[in-house]
Every structure is written in C-alpha cells, then in structure tokens.
Chains A and B, each alone.
Chain A
Amino acid sequence: SQTIHQWPATLVQPVGSPLSLECTVEGTSNPNLYWYRQAAGRGLQLLFYSVGIGQISSEVPQNLSASRPQDRQFILSSKKLLLSDSGFYLCAWNQGTDTQYFGPGTRLTVL
C-alpha cells in the first residue's frame, strides 16, 4: 500500500531564515505531487503541483519554491521566510484519478 511522509512535523523559524520541507511517497511510481498551505481556520491553498521529476507548476506567486529531485520526493523551500508564511503545510499525491491523499503535514510558525 502507499504511504506518504512529511518532515519535520513542527518547525519554528525566525523571519528571514531559510526553509526546507520534505515529502516522500512510498509504494507507487510516478505519482502527481502537490503542496498546499492551510492558514489557521482557513481552507487549503494549492501552492505547487508536479507531474514528474523536475516538472513544477506554481499556483501562487510568492517567496516559496518547490523541487522534485526524485520520482517520489517533493521539497518546498524558501530563502527568506516571512511572517505570513506561517501555517500548516500539506503534501498530497494522486495517480490515475482525481482523488488526493494527504501526508501528516508540517506546522510552521514564523516568529
């Protein structure tokens, strides 16, 4: 069966510091991968989408970037965090259908 991992689970970072969040999927090949952000009490905002290695689509212009160095690895990065980057970051995957499955998430607090 397929499983999706995210780390770290929680992160507290100062404003202006860099960021790297990682997501990996096991048990499948060539999945579609997604990064979402959920602000407190809000819905899910799609940030990035990837259909394959090195293929990244950005949904919202911002100071975040994404990379997919391996088939089942998706990384979210920032060179300099803003206060507004705080939130719950979720990675999701799907393959062959629209149904997306979410990882456990990373809670980021920028101070």
Chain B
Amino acid sequence: QKEVEQNSGPLSVPEGAIASLNCTYSDRGSQSFFWYRQYSGKSPELIMFIYSNGDKEDGRFTAQLNKASQYVSLLIRDSQPSDSATYLCAVSSSYKLIFGSGTRLLVRP
C-alpha cells in the first residue's frame, strides 16, 4: 500500500512567521510531488509542484524535496491569516496521485 503521511495538526503560527509543513511518502518510484491548499468547504487548489531534489521557490512559498529520505516540505514565509487552510501533499504513483490526509494550518493575527 503506497502511502503519503502528514501530521494532521493544527499547526499554529503567528502572523509574519514561517510555517513549515512536512510530508513523507513510501513509493520510491514517485517522480512528481505537489502541494495543494484547501480552504474549508472548498476544493483543493494547486500551490506548487516539484520534480527535482532541492528547493523550488514561488513568491512566499518554497517546496523542498529529498528523494533519498522520501521527504517533501512546504515553507510559507511571512504567513498571513489568509494562509489558514488545510495543506495536502500529493505524490505521483503510476497514472495517479496519492494524497496525504492534510495538515491544518492556523495563522494567528
């Protein structure tokens, strides 16, 4: 059973801080890694994807991938209350994506 594990949270950070979200996966053959944001009652929206080991930055978001450790993370700099949501990690496996159960982030004003 191929799995993606995330801490369910909630992860609570003050406004302006860095939020660090983590994800581990079991399928060593996975090639693509994704972070989605899901607001309560809404559908997931893509934040970032990463294919190669290392860091990928997009605005306030940085995705980090370490394939040897089977570990993906998402850093959110200068966290805002509008970043409060559930963050889903997804990993490619053959023709589909395997999703973690998500980490709930709460940014305190």
Interfacial residues, chain A to chain B (CB-CB below 8 A): 32, 34, 42-44, 46, 49, 51, 59, 90, 97-105, 107
Interfacial residues, chain B to chain A (CB-CB below 8 A): 31-32, 34, 36, 41-46, 49, 88, 90, 92, 95-97, 99-102
The CA-CA distance from A103 to B44 in the complex, in Å, is: 9
The CA-CA distance from A42 to B49 in the complex, in Å, is: 22
- The answer to whether A43 touches B43, judged by C-beta atoms less than 8 angstroms apart, is no
Residues of chain A within 8 A (CB-CB) of B100 are 43
How far in angstroms is the closest Cβ of chain B from A5?
12
The CA-CA distance from A100 to B48 in the complex, in Å, is: 11
Residues of chain A within 8 A (CB-CB) of B97 are 46, 98, 100
How far in angstroms is the closest Cβ of chain B from A25?
14
Residues of chain B within 8 A (CB-CB) of A32 are 95
The CA-CA distance from A82 to B19 in the complex, in Å, is: 40
User: Residue of B at shortest CB range from A42?
Assistant: B101
- The answer to whether B96 touches A43, judged by C-beta atoms less than 8 angstroms apart, is no
The CA-CA distance from A104 to B88 in the complex, in Å, is: 16
- The answer to whether B101 touches A101, judged by C-beta atoms less than 8 angstroms apart, is no
- The answer to whether A99 touches B43, judged by C-beta atoms less than 8 angstroms apart, is no
Known: A90-B43, A98-B32, A105-B42. A49 touches B102 (CB 8 A): no
Q: Which of A43, A46, A59, A101 contacts B46 (CB 8 A)?
A: A101
How far in angstroms is the closest Cβ of chain A from B28?
16
- The answer to whether B44 touches A90, judged by C-beta atoms less than 8 angstroms apart, is yes
How far in angstroms is the closest Cβ of chain A from B34?
7
Residues of chain A within 8 A (CB-CB) of B92 are 98
Residues of chain B within 8 A (CB-CB) of A90 are 43-44
Q: Which of B31, B32, B43 contacts A102 (CB 8 A)?
A: B43
How far in angstroms is the closest Cβ of chain A from B52?
14
> Most chain-B CB neighbours within 10 Å: which of A43, A102, A105?
A43
